[in-house]
Structure formats: structure tokens, C-alpha cells
Amino acid sequence: MLDNSTVRALGLVSGIGFSIALFIGGGVVLGLYLDERLGTTPLFLIVGLLLGLGLAGYTMYRLTLFRSTQR
């Protein structure tokens, strides 16, 4: 029932969705937490946010463009 293309589609679509939420959300939360602990507001927030955005963008690139040109 589970053919190859459907499983790939599932993985791809699911991965794109999570990469955005996980990296950006994670970066913000981690940044806020570190700033609160170390009293460095808003240094780590910005670092976390930029890092999250970069990672999310890179993951999306890897997932879509890279995979489609691989074959």
C-alpha cells in the first residue's frame, strides 16, 4: 500500500513543515531562556533567531532543490 513516492512525499512535506517550526521556534525559545539566565537581553535572542532562520532556510533548500536535482 505504501509506495515509494508517497512515502517520499510524506517525508518531504512533513520535513519542510517541521524544519521551519523547529529551528525558528527553538532558536527563539533558547535565546529567550539564555538571555533570562545570563541577563544578556537581547543578545542570545537575536543570535538564536538568526541561527534558526539560517538553519530553517538551509534545511528547506536541502529538502527541496537538492533532492529534486539529485537524480
Partner 1 sequence: MHIWNIALSVVLQEEEEESTFLGTPFHRPGLAPEELFSIGPVHVTNSMVTTLLVVLVVSLLAIWLTRRMQLIPGGKQNFLEVVVEGLLGLVEGAAGRRVGRIILPLIGTLFVYILVANWFALLPGIGTIIYHGEHDVPLLRAPNSDYNMTLAMAFLTMVIVQVAGFAAHGFGHLKEYFPKVGRIYLVNPLNIIDEFARLLSLSVRLFANVFAGEVLVGVMLALSFVAVFAVIPVVVPAIFLALEVFFGAIQALVFALLSLIYISLAVGGHSEGHDAEHDDDRAAALTQEGAARS
# chain residues binding partner 1, by CB under 8 A:
32
Q: Are 23 and 57 in contact (CB under 8 A)?
A: no
The footprint of partner 1 on residues 7-46 (CB under 8 A) is 8-14, 16-18, 20-22, 24-25, 28, 41-42, 45-46
Dihedral sign computed on CA atoms, order 19, 21, 27, 29: negative
Q: Would you tell me which residues interact with partner 1 (CB under 8 A)?
A: 1-6, 8-14, 16-18, 20-22, 24-25, 28, 41-42, 45-46, 49, 53, 64, 67-68, 71
